[in-house]
């Protein structure tokens, strides 16, 4: 939770430094989420690893809301924009086999990110973006035939991101964009279950998001 407060304070400081004549845009995004590569294992005496480097090919949904400054810094024809975005994404693996038991894994994330977007002027403009922030990562494992083994792990972690896309600036105040973003986290959730097992969820490669963004400047 401390990381959430730090990100919100940083965003307030950035936007409070913006001159009054500067404009802001409000952005909404929808798209798909891929959870990336995930490691998890049960620890007992001795430790018993059940799965390693699981990759989910099942896409999930993703949506986001944010606010962005209009060209807060300009160098020649390059413009720097600063924004805050709060997002949510969720996906499921469908049914998989773990130790010969049918199970379903559900991964969700809620990143709160400060982004710096770099682009130039024009009607069709490519852009790149870099970000730092925090992300709540949740990992749920459900056994249909053995519900006593079900668990749900959730916590906040530091995250950083990189992305890119194309803006289509054909209207004065309305902006349409396509984007791809990747968030990298260093997660490590450890929890002891009622049946005595220790679960360790480890995700080192984060998530990928892709979709469309609609913005309005005021």
Average pLDDT over residues 150-162: 85
Read off φ and ψ for residue 194, nearest 5 degrees: -60, -30
Place of tokens 């891929």: 34
At 178 the pLDDT is 96
Question: Residue 79 has which token pair?
Answer: 């413009």
Domains held by the chain: number: 1
Three-state secondary-structure class, residue 12: helix
State yes or no: pLDDT of 63 exceeds 90. Answer: yes
- CA 83 to CA 98: how far, in whole Å? 41
Confidence of residue 20 (pLDDT cuts 50, 70, 90): very low
Closest CA to 190 of 55, 54, 40: 40
Within a domain: residue 112?
A: yes
Within a domain: residue 189?
A: yes
At 173 the pLDDT is 84
Within a domain: residue 44?
A: yes
pLDDT tens track for 69-102: 876 677 778 889 999 999 999 988 777 666 667 7
Closest CA to 62 of 81, 86, 39: 86
CATH of the domain at 128: 2.40.160.20
At 29 the pLDDT is 95
Within a domain: residue 69?
A: yes
Of the candidate ranges 55-64, 136-145, 159-168, 187-196, the one whose mean pLDDT is the lowest: 187-196
Within a domain: residue 22?
A: no
Within a domain: residue 47?
A: yes
- CA 41 to CA 127: how far, in whole Å? 39
Within a domain: residue 102?
A: yes
Give 38's contacts (C-beta < 8 A, 6+ positions apart).
53, 54, 55, 56, 107, 139, 201, 202, 203, 205
State yes or no: pLDDT of 116 exceeds 60. Answer: yes
pTM over 0.75, yes/no: yes
Q: 176 lies in which domain range?
A: 2-17+27-217
pLDDT tens track for 160-216: 999 999 999 888 888 899 999 988 876 666 777 776 777 766 656 578 899 999 998
- CA 86 to CA 7: how far, in whole Å? 11
- CA 79 to CA 63: how far, in whole Å? 26
């Amino acid at each position: 939770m401390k990381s959430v407060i730090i990100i919100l304070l940083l965003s307030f400081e950035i936007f409070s430094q913006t001159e009054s004549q500067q404009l802001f845009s409000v952005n909404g995004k929808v798209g798909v989420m891929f959870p990336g590569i995930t490691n998890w294992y049960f620890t007992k005496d001795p430790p018993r690893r059940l799965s390693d480097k699981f990759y989910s090919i099942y896409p999930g949904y993703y949506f986001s809301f944010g606010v962005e400054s209009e060209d807060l810094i300009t160098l020649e024809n390059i413009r720097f924009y600063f924004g805050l975005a709060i997002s949510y994404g969720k996906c499921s693996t469908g049914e998989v086999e773990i130790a010969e038991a049918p199970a379903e894994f559900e991964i969700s994330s809620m990143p709160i990110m400060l982004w710096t977007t770099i682009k130039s002027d024009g009607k069709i403009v490519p852009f790149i973006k870099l970000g730092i922030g925090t992300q709540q990562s949740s990992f749920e494992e459900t056994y249909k035939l053995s519900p006593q083994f079900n668990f749900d792990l959730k916590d906040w972690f530091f995250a950083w991101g990189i992305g890119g896309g194309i803006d289509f600036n054909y209207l004065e105040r309305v902006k349409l964009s396509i984007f791809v973003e990747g968030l990298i986290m260093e997660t490590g959730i450890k929890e002891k279950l009622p049946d005595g097992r220790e679960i360790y969820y480890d995700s080192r490669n984060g998530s990928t998001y892709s979709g469309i963004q609609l913005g309005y400047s005021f």
